[in-house]
Structure 1
Amino acid sequence: MPVTKTALRGISLVCVTTPDQDKAVTFYESIGFEKRTDEPFGGGYRWIEMYPPEGETGIALAPPPEGSTFEPAQTGITLTTADVEAVHAEMVDKGVDVDAEVSRMGDPVPPMFWFRDPSGHSLMVVEQPE
């Protein structure tokens, strides 16, 4: 298929449902994210976008649809760092729900660990040397 001017170009946001947006914002800010958007929409809802300091792709923290049942998810979101051990230790110090230790499976899998946000969603941190 030929590439056209309307071809997909990248991922800008990943939407994560959260029943307590303020608590989620506080958490993501505590691990280094910055809030770039926080706007009301649709009769009482808020659209919130959080970004890592060096990233172009953000996490949108959206309320669950009205009448739906909220369930935490393994998001598939992978965050990168040059020093996975330091990030793990920092998260432990901050009381973040993280895996007990960094997983080291050997090449080609980089060192990594999982953590959970206040809504119970799982995200991964992997080491990606600069």
Structure 2
Amino acid sequence: MNHLTEIRTIGVPVTDQDRALTFYTEILGFDLVMDAPLPQFGGRWLVVAPGGSAAPSSATSLALVPAKDDLPAGVDTGIRFGSPDAKAAHEHFQTAGVDTTELLEWPGVPPMFSLRDPDGNRLYVSQI
């Protein structure tokens, strides 16, 4: 029996949940799925998901969790997002002042780049 059937939520450590929420919703275009007080956690349970996904039960989401000593911000998350047009996404994020790497384009490989959120967490974008 397979007890694990999906990846639901990936935690991204942030130092300021309000700033992170603004970045992920207004700059990256994600939707706010949940914002619940969680004082024992040291903040809120903030969950965002790619815009338009409406976070169905099978959608993968991100939890913007408070950073702490054993969960520091500014990490390489390893998270890879898909975009129908990586070049347009790259231009959009650069225009918005997001810290991005150059757009990598090789024959036979989808265009890709990485970016950093306001806490320096590295995220990746690849054309789908």
TM-superposed deviation, 1:123: 0.3
TM-superposed deviation, 1:45: 2.0
Matched, 1:63 2:61: no
Structure of larger gyration radius: 1
**Alignment length (residue pairs):** 121
Which residue does the alignment assign to 1:9? 5
One-letter amino acid of the counterpart of residue 53, structure 1: G
Which residue does the alignment assign to 1:110? 110
* DSSP 3-state at the match of 1:85: helix
TM-score, normalised relative to structure 2: 0.86
Which residue does the alignment assign to 2:83? 81
Q: Residues 83 and 8 of structure 1: is their aligned pair in 2 closer, same or farther, counting only changes over 3 Å?
A: same
Aligned-residue CA RMSD in angstroms? 1.7
CA distance in 1, matches of 2:87, 2:118: 22
Matched, 1:33 2:30: yes
TM-superposed deviation, 1:38: 0.7
CA distance in 1, matches of 2:71, 2:126: 31
One-letter amino acid of the counterpart of residue 80, structure 2: T
TM-score, normalised relative to structure 1: 0.84
Which segment drifts farther, 34-43 or 86-95?
A: 34-43
Which residue does the alignment assign to 1:122? 122
TM-superposed deviation, 1:70: 2.9
Contact 2:67–2:73, Cα closer than 8 Å, also in 1: no
CA distance in 1, matches of 2:115, 2:23: 12
CA distance in 1, matches of 2:14, 2:98: 17
Map Cα deviations across residues 3-35 of structure 1 (whole Å, 9 max, x no partner): x2x521110111011111000000001220011
Unaligned runs of 5+ in 1: none
Which residue does the alignment assign to 2:18? 22
Percent of aligned positions with the same letter in both sequences?
A: 36
Map Cα deviations across residues 94-118 of structure 1 (whole Å, 9 max, x no partner): 111111x2112333x4210000000
One-letter amino acid of the counterpart of residue 115, structure 1: L
